[in-house]
Amino acid sequence: MREESLSRLVAATGAAGAGNAALAAAVARARDAAAGDCAVILVEGLSDQAAVCALAARRGRDLDTEGVFVVPMGGATNIGHFLDLFGPRGLGVALAGLCDEGEEGDFRRGLAGAGLSPGPARAAPNGSASTCASPIWRTR
């Protein structure tokens, strides 16, 4: 991974309002950790990050201690860049992610481009319109 690529990603996500603290922490941990000691959950934005972190806390999970980083990407269209950074061609961490239903196509294209399988499409419960319903995917 080139520092120039990481710098561009930090600049792009910061400009999109995604914040960079989780990104910087995840990269630092992934570089220093033994294989399997770091996991990244990719989400579209800050509200998704807050929701995932709140749910984890409510369930008694301490993501920091577990080496799990919820990283907002500044929008689903950035998925390919984050998969390049964290996926098998990059830092090789365990990955998971979620997006709004309307962004599923962006995620599927990004996953395919990174050589990862997006899994089957998921329908919203009871056919309703719902956010963060699809897809949910993970590596390892």
- CA triple 97-66-44, angle to 5 deg: 25
- Residues 6 or more apart whose CB falls under 8 angstroms from that of 100 comprise 44, 76, 131, 132, 133
Which residue from 1, 2, 52 is spatially nearest to 22, judged by alpha carbons? 52
- Break the chain into its structural domains and give their ranges: 3-121+128-138
How do residues 62-74 score in pLDDT, each as one tens digit? Answer: 998 898 999 998 8
Q: Tell whether the model's pLDDT for residue 88 goes beyond 90.
A: no
Confidence of residue 132 (pLDDT cuts 50, 70, 90): very low
More confident site: 14 or 78? 78
- Residues 6 or more apart whose CB falls under 8 angstroms from that of 19 comprise 13, 46, 49, 72
Read off the tokens for 10: 């930090």
How do residues 3-53 score in pLDDT, each as one tens digit? Answer: 666 676 777 666 555 567 788 888 888 888 766 688 999 998 888 999 999
pTM of the model: 0.79
